[in-house]
A and B are shown apart, each in its own frame.
Chain A
């Protein structure tokens, strides 16, 4: 029993990372209805930027985090402008194929330039174990938790309380009406990409801390799992992404601890298909009415 609770505690850290990625996914999906497959690979780019800013400039965790977030925002906006914007009016399948292309370009481009091998992710601080009753918690886990929650609160504030956030909600509700109201839709979409990819960069660093190693293909699977979390929680809902991420993270850790680690990645998809069959709009999702 203690072991199960211990695993759930471990699952929390992973779950919060998934939730962070899921938020970015959900944000972008909400505004242009595109599964940005490249979102997962932005995670990888974020982790690499952090790694190199540590190796080359010896930056600490928070400066490296800021550098990674800024560079990834720029990358995200560039991808949006170059690859997705020309296809905004095209059939959705065209944009999806392009997104897959961008994702593969990032993965294999990084393999070409930085090699396919795994690299050790720097330990930005010394691991300390805390004993709480029978459970053991590391300071990294606590840190992941605090940072994830902090970023979620910031995101919630931006989306709910600021002008640009209001514009984002308007565009995601009805793009054409928003344009008629004088909102610069292109800029709002770019801002959304910047915000979403910045979250992905942060998640990349946390993922690096969690697994302690990074490689060019590290982002794809967590990216998909984050999308699954977003679907479980209900696309477009911030608490939904959090709950979905936690459900998935904890399930995954439990499956591994039961000795079925080879089935780890299969379970997430199984969960997805179940949710889609039973409650396609997710836990917190709103019912979408088909408009003609």
Chain B
């Protein structure tokens, strides 16, 4: 329905990008429940996505189960795995948890590679094309609303209290273990759902699609957008779904660098308000540098554009963490603060 409407003025390629934005939004907001709201650290989100995708695809492929039921079954299985990995969190804090989640996703990938019934290392081909832009759109809206309400409920506040200070939360009577496991189960459920949408959209699944790179990609979305905020995760999913497409040609790279430059200007303005002359000199020098790079480095940029993606990702991760830990959403919030204050009539 919506897809037909959009196809009047968008190419199918653009609609596909929009669909991926939807799928990645679900992944990013669900990971944000664990990393952003609860303050735990998971780098194995692709594992849950793989479980959901493979289980749902198995059900529609071998048993012709309706898509919605298969998706829910896949999501529930992923949630069960979330419970399994959530239980070690009873004992682990922070860093160990990161490695454990990574290891868990890796174990899933290795098992899928050796599971012949779903194609093993050849990949799972021939999945029916049961999801399109409309289904993705519907599930994205529903997931966002559910998770948005979840984070604003007493459950969401309990999760945030764990993030702020686990010991204090426990002292206030928050059953921290229960809520940490709950965060994993909820996040895994939605990641599994996204996995099912992904598989039935692409009609093909391969275990190596769900490796560490995928998990890091989802992590980068919430870091870029701003952790602990679903709108930030949404923003990050949009940016990172468009970025690789934009990096395919020179014109796109020019746009990307221009946008990064403008964001840099905004961030440095936030930090360097006291000395505007120095700030201005800084952005002029950086701007000239970017322009020179674009003019004289054109051939190099075109040659290495494909390989630059991961390098740009990793530099973004580092710079965001050091200079803008609250992400793009936090930056927008800080920049518009004077304006919003004036609108509300509050004196600064």
Contacts and interface: CB of A to CB of B under 8 A. Distances in A.
Interface in B101-127: 102-104, 106-107, 110-111, 113-114
B100 A276 contact: yes
Interface stretch (B87-95, B149-157, B266-274, B291-299): B87-95
A272 B321 CA distance: 28
Interface residues of A, number: 46
A45 B92 CA distance: 31
Given A101-B315, A112-B304, A273 B103 contact: yes
Contacts of A269: 102-104, 106-107
Nearest to A292: B167
B95 A105 contact: no
B162 to A, nearest CB: 13
Interface stretch (B7-15, B53-61, B230-238, B305-313): B305-313
A112 B114 contact: no
Most buried by B among A33, A91, A97: A97
B277 interface: no
Nearest to B319: A101
A173 interface: no
A87 B322 contact: yes
A127 interface: no
A103 B307 CA distance: 16
B315 A96 contact: no
Interface residues of B, number: 42
A224 B43 CA distance: 13
Nearest to B98: A96
Interface string A65-77: 0000000000000
Nearest to B219: A97
Interface stretch (A146-154, A200-208, A258-266): A258-266
Contacts of B219: 97, 100
B317 A276 contact: no
A98 interface: yes
B100 A105 contact: no
Contacts of B94: 92-93, 96
A158 interface: no
Given A34-B95, A273-B104, A98 B318 contact: yes
Contact of A111 (B113, B212, B227, B307): B307
B314 A272 contact: no
Contacts of B95: 29, 33-35, 92, 96
A83 B318 contact: yes
A280 B91 contact: yes
A124 interface: no
B216 interface: yes
A102 B91 contact: no
A265 B321 contact: no
Interface in B200-231: 212, 216, 219, 223, 227
B313 to A, nearest CB: 7
A266 B211 CA distance: 13
B325 A108 contact: no
Nearest to B323: A86
B86 interface: no
21 contacts: A34-B95, A93-B39, A93-B94, A96-B98, A98-B321, A104-B216, A104-B311, A104-B317, A105-B314, A105-B315, A107-B310, A108-B310, A108-B314, A112-B304, A224-B103, A231-B96, A266-B106, A269-B106, A272-B103, A273-B103, A280-B96
